[in-house]
Amino acid sequence: MKTITRSITVAAKHLYLIPLVLSMYSCNHTTKQTIAITDMSSSDSTVDLSHMIQLADTLYDSKKISLWTSDRLSNKFESLYLKYENDKTNSAASLDYQIVMDMGMMSHPGPSYPLVNLGNGVYRADVVFNMANIKDMGKGWLFKTIVKEEDKTDTLIFSLPVHQDSFTRTLLTKTKRNDQLFVSCLLPQEVKVGKQTIAFVLSKKDKEILSNVDDYTVAIEPFMPAMKHGSSENEHAKSIGNGKYSGMIHFSMPGEWIVKVKLMKDKETLSEDTLIYTVKVK
């Protein structure tokens, strides 16, 4: 049986749907897989999409696919919610997705977690946007939804409005071993006073491809510039597999803090720069 592969492109601008292209072709089509960081538990299985922003939706054949987010997207760790509806109750399909940054002359995948099935046709996609969209340079970030059925594969492409965050959460550094690494801090812009988990994602840049890195220690040093002091009871972030790192950080009082980060291996500092992440503590 010949498999039909269709590509449907949808743009999300100003948070409404703009249908762009519908093309159909038949070939032995393969796509690059996104980089799986780690599985995540279905802790938000009762997610209410009615309180979220609908980025885009499209209706084709008997199916409807929509994409949602809790807030506007920026260059940091984000959770997107994909809803799949099919009027044909006896039609079986499997879903997958890819995140791609299209910069015009080149493109590269983005770090992402495997799709999490939350039930009732809703799926969560956790990703790290390691840069914002660049004006007049390519299509920017694309969310490719892949719907596989018995005799065909549909790929729906959503254009994502990814903005520059107020506080940078993903930085590029070079190591003494000439590796170029994206270091993503998963802290929100504002946190509460006290001791809490701090998480990072490390991705290695090799030409246009990103891969996960697990063999470092992310050394952290919180510092409050206004008061000229740091804090105690901090624990460096250790690898928990598939590019993700977890540690503990202590913000002892409210105000603006910075987190100084270095990459280490076997007690040797390998990052050429000290990375700085700004955090507001309230």
CATH number, domain with residue 60:
2.60.40
Final residue in a domain of this structure, among 127, 143, 163: 163
90-140 tens-digit pLDDT: 666 899 999 999 999 888 888 888 898 999 999 999 888 888 999 999 999
**115: domain range?**
4-163
Report the C-alpha gap between 115 and 139 in whole angstroms: 23
250: domain CATH number? Answer: 2.60.40.10
Would you give the DSSP letter of residue 114? P
Are residues 13 and 145 both part of a single domain? Answer: yes
Are residues 18 and 133 both part of a single domain? Answer: yes
Mean pLDDT by 10 residues, the chain (282 residues): 55 37 29 32 66 91 91 90 84 86 89 88 90 93 91 90 91 88 90 96 75 92 97 97 94 98 94 95 96
Are residues 158 and 196 both part of a single domain? Answer: no
Are residues 14 and 91 both part of a single domain? Answer: yes
H-state helical runs in the chain? none
Are residues 77 and 159 both part of a single domain? Answer: yes
- Count the Cβ atoms, other than its own, within 10 Å of residue 150: 9
- Looking at the 3D structure of the chain, how many domains does it have? 2
> What is the bridge-based pairing of β-strands 190-191 and 275-281?
parallel
Report the C-alpha gap between 82 and 121 in whole angstroms: 8
Report the C-alpha gap between 181 and 56 in whole angstroms: 32
Report the C-alpha gap between 253 and 251 in whole angstroms: 6
Final residue in a domain of this structure, among 128, 146, 163: 163
Are residues 149 and 184 both part of a single domain? Answer: no
Are residues 154 and 221 both part of a single domain? Answer: no
Note whether 222 and 250 are within 8 A (CB). yes
Distance, C-alpha 41 to centroid of its chain: 16
29-43 tens-digit pLDDT: 322 222 233 334 444
Are residues 157 and 227 both part of a single domain? Answer: no
Are residues 260 and 211 both part of a single domain? Answer: yes
- The answer to whether the predicted template modeling score (pTM) of the entire model surpasses 0.85 is no
Final residue in a domain of this structure, among 163, 183, 206: 163
Are residues 105 and 174 both part of a single domain? Answer: no
> What is the bridge-based pairing of β-strands 77-86 and 170-174?
unpaired
